Structure 1
């Protein structure tokens, strides 16, 4: 039952406008590939490891191969055909052997034709299909573990971050967090990894303000949380970041190691990491196709807009971004239950009725996306050194989550923006969440905002402003809207940003069996 009395015609109009705004960008994404999409494709085919003898440091074999293919014959037709033709031509037994021969200068890549092309396409499809079957097996295993161990007994799921820089230390903190009540563990990435155009190899112990996202780190943490899940009697989910210049590759690695959630926003990298818009939209479409197949829940990043723009004045831009993220996700094959659309508790607490405004925004998101496990983010922008005030703000945030039926509740820290939280801070924060959710119980069934009250009026106002903005975006184009600073006050031109040189227009006859297999399933 609707508590806000939203006009269903206006809601439908908003979705139609979002689809129209997204359509040219989807066409652009379909018409291009990137170096990361091609690397992700080869990762599905089984390539792993790195060139440890390189003078400038370890270079992943997949980077070595894709860069050489691009140098020899371009990526306009994809990497799969030249790679699997070279594999047969040189009678090599694995992609790793091919990479080693490539590094030694023994391979000259070319685009095969005729029977050679047919043979290379068939062999590539077989290898990539094996990788996709691994995604399928991991999805089935997750379902079996949830059936056996059980899901958390309540919603919202309690989501807590670890960020030591050392995967072994992360394992200890994650286990303790799960024992203390966390349902989802997010491993923060090392600062700046989103701007690396390669994925490091192996276990890492030296990240700054986070731990590197690598396949081995994913494996280690998933295995540790499986053990803790059996101990606590519920399936504990694992989150990382499919964003930045290696978004598609990290999505693949997450699926191969059975991660459960990935931060994956359509515009975050553009706005907050200055990554080229076209690169980002191409990469996010492929990554979401992988997430859809792997049964991974995505978390989007609308909460970040409210750290740079005013949370009241810019509230409608969050709604617009949520609608766009929803459409991009559906087009890539994600279901509603996989859409952890983001929003945040970021209104200045000194504003009169700030809590009522927060309730209006949270309830609007809940009613616009009734089947999505919304990810509700705690206060950060207005946290200060007054940890007592911060703890109280987090309590209000938790109460808003209980009242409005949020799906994923990120645990707020009273020391946010002051220090990296101590273990004791996390324990107190979890205590806050447990108390509020336990005391509130099913208070949501008693919560009925007045039809002519501030909460309902504010929600209608934000929806109306969102529709007006979507109409302007349809007229001017989404890429232009981004360039003009519509979201988060960040101005990002279409031809600017990092990674633009990694975007390639597809030629007629472009071949990528991974996309074909993923789209066929979708």
Structure 2
């Protein structure tokens, strides 16, 4: 079969890459389908409406799941014991039951027969209620996108889509983040990401309420999500274009945060198959099990995930390790598809991180970026700016960011994160962000449809480099398929960091499912295609 695309990639090699990625992913998918975690079970309780915390800040979801685990285990899930206890009384709500359980005042059991049938029906109705709320929030987004089209959905269908401009706020105080986020939107940001407080990945609970004391970021809580979403809706109406909101579904509470994001209509969530393992030392098994449920929720909520392959290039060489980025993207794609995510929800990540001192570095960057674009033509790719080689020379940094913006436009990237000339020096000031936005606006407006004219020579440096990276990706996928993905992670294949399967944080929260396991949220998400569910509810399903 003849090669195709600007890079003359062999279609058979591309198909082989996906086949090998599916082979490597299959044992992980099987594990996720036969295990649960404490956070998956708590996510069900949150979808069913359980919120709040005790006076010490410990969430009622944690109290209730822990009480069930201590008395009857989690092998059958929390659904049957919890809704059986509710039906037996005298506690009328999940919050009442959780409070009593925290005081040691509830005796849980695994019901049988007719009692089990009633508990199953009640739990399913409660889970259905939470998923219906997520469906309504998705329908709200669809209406707002139609009323207030952002740059990637222009009012004129003939107009080319522009890359979305993605900007970060991270003061630690949600009430300071809000005016900064609104100011960023007024200056041209299309996506606002609220960076999560340092260390939240390692908390095995979700903090409650609005928070003002984050470190290098703001805590991800349901109330913080609600406040920021309302603030961005306000500025969206002011500007006449929808401004998207991003946060982080990762760490030990990934499933719960995903559920809260769906309930509060976030638009994008950082959700990578290996980031938490490699960079936060979360146990690999815990991460993959939590991730499947979180991605099922994202699929239902219409949330675009952002993956974190860019981080590999901060610890590994961006040239030598380029193929590991592609392999991770292919794995993220496979895990995402299996969990129900559409291509339009796969915000696969990569980065402009080659040492600028290397001869022809810009051509190599173009090769890597164009390769990813052609491998995933329908994915809203997220392109990350240079960080590793920002030296503190703000003038050189500003120039390097302009080259990054140019590469993003030339290769048709979907989401461009704003590069900061003060990267690595201090938390950016508003003036830094303003200059960074000016940089990307200039390049985007001046270069416009340059991607149409960018066609590398078939035998040139760019096309040859891209084909070589693809070939190296195939070789690595073959090895991973033979040895296993958990082994590859343990050997430091990604980001040169070794993480053994039974190491890291959170393994004690992993539970193998027993026969008769019930989580009605998983049952609903497993059996209902998100598009079909929306059509059945009378919601318009965009083409």
TM-score, length basis structure 2: 0.95
Structure 2 residue aligned with 1:122: 121
* Structure-2 residue corresponding to 1:60: 59
1:96 offset after TM fit, Å? 0.4
Asked if 1:104 is matched to 2:115, the reply is no
Q: 2:400 aligns with which of 371, 383, 393?
A: 393
Alignment of 1:431-510 (within 5 A): 431-510=438-517
Structure 1 position 75 matched with structure 2 position 82: no
- In the aligned structure 2, how far is the partner of 1:260 from the partner of 1:336? 15
Q: CA deviation at 1:299?
A: 0.2
Distance 2:234 2:464 in 1: 48
Q: Is the partner of 1:50 in helix, strand or coil? A: coil
- State which of 368, 387, 409 in structure 1 corresponds to 2:416: 409
List alignment gaps of at least 5 residues for structure 2.
155-160, 530-543
Q: Distance in 2 between matches of 1:233 and 1:285?
A: 36
Q: Residue in 2 aligned with 1:3?
A: 6
Equivalent residue in structure 1 for 2:432, among 408, 425, 434: 425
- Secondary structure of 1:418's counterpart equals coil
In 1, the alpha carbon distance for the partners of 2:527 and 2:284 equals: 27
Q: Select between 497-506 and 440-449 the one with higher mean Cα deviation.
A: 440-449
Structure 1 residue 217 corresponds to structure 2 residue 216: no
Residue number among 224, 234, 259 corresponding to 1:252 in the alignment: 259
User: Do structure 1's residue 159 and structure 2's residue 166 form an aligned pair?
Assistant: yes
Residue deviations 1:173-196 (CA, integer Å, cap 9, x gap)? 000000000000000000000000
Partner of 2:28: 25
Instruction: Work out the CA distance in 2 between the residues paired with 1:91 and 1:266.
Output: 42
Matched position secondary structure for 2:219: coil
> In the TM superposition, what is the alpha-carbon distance from 1:92 to its structure 2 partner?
2.0
Give the C-alpha shift of residue 91 in structure 1.
3.0
Match of 1:278 among 265, 271, 285: 285
Alignment partner of 1:186: what SS? Answer: strand
> C-alpha displacement at 1:349, in angstroms?
0.3
Give the whole-Å Cα distance in 1 for the aligned partners of 2:400 and 2:528: 45
Secondary structure of the corresponding residue to residue 245 of structure 2: strand
| Secondary structure, aligned partner of 1:191 | coil
In structure 2, how many angstroms separate the alpha carbons of the residues matched to 1:151 and 1:172? 20
Cα distance in structure 1, aligned partners of 2:148 and 2:506:
43
Distance 2:19 2:183 in 1: 45
SS in 2 for 1:82: helix
Structure 1 residues 219-228 or 96-105, which shifts more? 96-105
Query: Is 1:196 the counterpart of 2:209 in the alignment?
Result: no
Q: CA RMSD in A?
A: 0.7
CA distance in 2, matches of 1:26, 1:91: 40
Given the alignment, which residue of 519, 530, 540 partners 1:512?
A: 519
- Specify the alignment match of 1:38 in structure 2: 41
Deviating more after overlay: 148-157 vs 9-18 = 148-157
TM-superposition CA deviations, 1:36-56 (whole Å, max 9, x none): 00000110111000011xxxx
Q: CA deviation at 1:103?
A: 1.6
Match of 2:179 among 169, 172, 185: 172
Deviation at 1:84?
0.4
**In structure 1, what is the equivalent of residue 540 of structure 2?**
none
**What displacement does 1:384 show?**
1.1
Which residue does the alignment assign to 2:539? none
Deviations along 1:86-130, whole A, 9 cap, x unmatched? 111123221001011112221011111111111001000001100
TM-fit CA distance, 1:155: 2.1
Give the count of matched residue pairs. 518
- CA distance, structure 2, for counterparts of residue 239 and residue 304 of structure 1: 18
SS in structure 1 at match of 2:383: strand
Aligned to 1:287, which of 294, 297, 309? 294
Which moves more between the two structures, 146-155 or 306-315? Answer: 146-155
Residue 133 of structure 2 corresponds to: 134
Q: Distance in 2 between the 1:441 and 1:343 partners?
A: 22
Secondary structure (helix, strand or coil) at the match of 1:348 reads coil
Partner of 2:213, secondary structure, is coil
Regions of 4+ moved over 3 Å = none
SS in 1 for 2:269: strand
Q: 1:334-377: CA deviations, max 9, x gaps?
A: 00000000000000000000000000000000000000000000
How far 1:11 sits from its partner (Å)?
0.3
Provide the C-alpha distance between the structure 2 equivalents of 1:267 and 1:505, rounded to a whole number of angstroms: 21
Q: Aligned to 1:59, what secondary structure does the other structure show? A: coil
Q: What SS is found at the alignment partner of 1:199?
A: coil
Q: How far off its partner does 1:448 sit? A: 1.0
- Structure 1: stretches of 5+ with no match in the other structure: none
1:150 to partner: Cα distance: 1.2
CA distance in structure 2 between the partners assigned to 1:148 and 1:350 by the alignment? 47
- Among candidates 2, 9, 12, match of residue 15 of structure 2: 12
Structure 1 counterpart SS, 2:313: helix
What SS does structure 1 have at the residue aligned with 2:377?
coil
Counterpart position of 1:361: 368
- Determine whether 1:241 maps to 2:248: yes
Secondary structure at 2:25's aligned position in 1? helix
DSSP-derived class of the 2:420 partner: coil
2:237 aligns to what?
Answer: 230
SS of the residue corresponding to residue 379 of structure 2 reads coil
